[in-house]
Structure 1
């Protein structure tokens, strides 16, 4: 199987999972471009893939790194706009958070996750929403397994506290 055929196969198997991960991770619905970048980068770097992790885990690592880059880029752009607005003596822009096709409980959980610190968000998305194993989550986040377990437990507690008991382990 050629590298191109392998990536095509992985795209068929994992593109929906990568898409959903990126929606939760970025908080945006429009992540198709990032999904495409994930698989382009995977194709370019497929020679570096070793079978120590699953293809899905490797793709999630790529997706996470690209999402972090995109979030940083957007943050810089928003900061520029805010500085310009302040200089023009106007109130800063407010961008409404849009959450689509989620039940009311899921919306509350999603909003609660958004208020947690980034490490809690990451581990909750990967373990709780994407249902990765501890090992897979550790590989994506480049953490050890113990850190994943402890952070996940603390994140659940923080989320439960934030939501007033809506979340159960």
Structure 2
């Protein structure tokens, strides 16, 4: 099977998961270009994929790196835009169908609470809690020990619960 066919199959199987991961990681629904970047990097690096991990795990590792690169780029661009600010420019707001994934106020609060967590907590919550990856898969993606994944996930859940209790006025309780 050719490299392009392998990546095409993986895109078919995992692109939705990568898309959702990037939405949570980036705090934005306009991540289609980043999903494409993940699969471009995957096809370029397929020869380095040794099969020790599941393809999904490897793709999430790439997605995490793409997200970090994009956040760095946005940070640099934000500083550049402050230096070239035009007071006459009107802000652009776009309402897209993708915003419909935040159907209720509680879902919005959960999303905001996840975004407010520090990056390590956010990563482990998304991978373990939302994407239901195993401790082993998560440790491989984050390049952490399994014990660090377990302890960080535990702390992240507590931080998320505390944040939600604060935002929802004690309505939320952990399952």
Q: Which residue of 2 aligns with 1:21?
A: 21
Are 1:168 and 2:169 an aligned pair?
A: no
Alignment partners' CA distance in 2, 1:146 and 1:15: 29
Contact 2:135 2:146 in 1 (8 A): yes
Alignment partners' CA distance in 2, 1:54 and 1:104: 36
- State TM-score, norm by structure 1: 0.88
Q: Which residue of 2 aligns with 1:150?
A: 151
Q: How big is each residue's C-alpha offset from its partner over 1:114-145, in whole Å with a ceiling of 9 and x where there is no partner? A: 11111111111111111111111111111111
Q: Structure 2: 5+ residue runs without aligned partners?
A: none
Alignment partners' CA distance in 2, 1:106 and 1:82: 32
Q: Which residue of 2 aligns with 1:127?
A: 128
Q: Which residue of 2 aligns with 1:137?
A: 138
Q: 1:75 is paired with a residue of what secondary structure?
A: helix
Are 1:49 and 2:55 an aligned pair?
A: no
Alignment partners' CA distance in 1, 2:67 and 2:173: 26
Residues 167 and 43 of structure 1: is their aligned pair in 2 closer, same or farther, counting only changes over 3 Å?
farther
Alignment partners' CA distance in 1, 2:70 and 2:92: 17
Q: How big is each residue's C-alpha offset from its partner over 1:47-97, in whole Å with a ceiling of 9 and x where there is no partner? A: 100111100000011111011000110011112222444xx8x7xxx998x
Q: How big is each residue's C-alpha offset from its partner over 1:145-166, in whole Å with a ceiling of 9 and x where there is no partner? A: 1101100100110111111152
Residues 22 and 139 of structure 1: is their aligned pair in 2 closer, same or farther, counting only changes over 3 Å?
same
Alignment partners' CA distance in 1, 2:160 and 2:128: 14
Alignment partners' CA distance in 2, 1:40 and 1:84: 32
Contact 1:10 1:55 in 2 (8 A): yes
Alignment partners' CA distance in 2, 1:78 and 1:59: 28
Alignment partners' CA distance in 2, 1:119 and 1:28: 18
Alignment partners' CA distance in 2, 1:131 and 1:62: 18
Alignment partners' CA distance in 1, 2:44 and 2:80: 33
Residues 71 and 10 of structure 1: is their aligned pair in 2 closer, same or farther, counting only changes over 3 Å?
same
